[in-house]
Amino acid sequence: MSGRIPVTRVAVDAGSLVTKIAVSGGRSGPSAQEPLLHSGAAGPDRERTALAAALDAARENRASQTGSDAGIHVSLVVPDAWLDGSTEGARRQEALRHLAEDQMGLTEVSWAGQLAAAVALATSRRGFAEPGRYLVCDIGGHGVRAAACEVTGRTVRPLAVHDAPGGGWLDFDAAVRTTLKADSDPGLATWYRSAVDQQRRATLVFDRARNAPEFLDARAYSLAGAAGRYELTAGQAVSCFAPTADRLRAGSAAVLGGAAPAVAVLTGGLAWFPQAHQVVAEAAGRAPDVLGPEAAVLGALLLGGGEAQLAPHGLPPVTLPAHRIRDGRLEEISLPLPWTDSFASPDGEPLVLEDPELTLDIGSRRVTLRVPGLTRGQYRIGVRPSWPGTGVVVLRARRTPPDHADPGHDVHVLPLDSQEILR
């Protein structure tokens, strides 16, 4: 057993405003490093830097140095919309997959949605003892997301996801600065840290303002900037938060469909704000468990390590009828396309497609899919499950060179739900 390579697990929340990394295994237990990067726009350079930093953190945490990345398992946490079986989401996932696997050479990669991963963390903190429907609300940097997940023991099944752009931390921060007439004051760059320290008073003021409107004029926060102090009243804070509150209510209603959740969870960059607690509590009919912005990445560690799991997708087996030449003779083969693998091909080589069509055996049915824009050439073919219980077929053209800067250009995505063949 002394020759066994120790497993180090690293999770990367690559779909958030501030990239977060968590590592487990090796010399220490789970730990979150946040923030690691400050970047408001996603893109290959930011994601490349995040993955490189994650690998560095994993290597440093290893119990023994092997001189290679063998034994490092990477869980990539992405917006749930990337895993919903849509063309746009699949393309975003494939771009990150190309970076992680083809360009950075990672061989042990798994995927999780941010909201489902946050639910995994919430259930673990409750000892996996409270089954039922969970409502999770995430106030991110650029928008507000809500999901309903069904929890059974250690298993999490996403049921519905609602994503609303706008109303996130950046919009709230801008509204507060504008209200205080302090847009250009550099001293307010981290005003939320002082606000968090004043939570006790702010919560009391907000609670009283619900029944006594005169308290809307009371000071909720006193904030120090480079140009002096600023007083933010309860009414001003509520007004700044109104777009976020509207999105929280709409998202919760959309994913719950009138059903009451067993547990409510609030996470993201504005999870500290008392009004966020109040809005989620009203929508759920119960006070939320408040998790920090690192909830998704820590939940992904649990999923990657098997302490929690996503519900099996239950999709039928998929095989590709093909031909190959062996010993100078043409023979027919049936090539499996596992839902858990990135791509499959005979003998590790890309497949040559002649026509803008793809024939697959899905379960007991033979299906021919049209592939608009497909040209004759070599392709890698894979299938991807999605949380709604459908999936997509992905064809990626063989690249010359293999690290082409635009991975989306040569990728074809075929959502299987539109073919009505998985129902």
C-alpha span between 175 and 319 (Å, rounded): 53
pLDDT of residue 235: 96
pLDDT of residue 420: 56
Does the domain at 8-113 match CATH 3.30.2310? Answer given as: no
pLDDT of residue 314: 87
> Taking the CB of residue 196, how many other CB atoms lie within 10 A of it?
12
Which residue is listed with tokens 């049936």?
A: 334
Ranges for all domains in the chain classified under CATH 3.30.420: 8-113
Helix/strand/coil (H/E/C) assignment for every residue in 112-165: EEHHHHHHHHHHHHCCCCCCEEEEEEEECCCEEEEEEEEEECCEEEEEEEEEEE
pLDDT in tens, the chain (423 residues): 445 556 788 888 877 777 788 888 644 445 554 434 333 345 557 777 778 877 887 777 665 555 556 678 899 999 998 999 999 999 999 999 998 888 888 888 999 999 999 999 999 999 999 999 999 999 998 899 999 999 999 999 999 999 999 999 999 999 999 999 998 899 998 899 999 999 999 999 999 999 999 999 999 999 999 988 999 999 999 999 999 999 999 999 999 999 999 999 999 989 999 999 999 999 999 999 999 888 999 999 999 989 999 999 889 999 998 776 666 676 788 889 999 889 986 666 778 887 788 899 998 889 998 888 888 888 889 999 999 988 999 999 876 555 444 444 589 999 887 555 555
The structure tokens listed for 96 are 């990150």
* C-beta separation of 62 from 8 below 8 A: yes
pLDDT of residue 334: 86
3-class DSSP state of 263: strand
123, HSE (Cβ side, Cα atoms, 13 Å): 33
| Phi, psi dihedrals of residue 64, rounded to the nearest 5° | -140, 145
The structure tokens listed for 10 are 């690293």
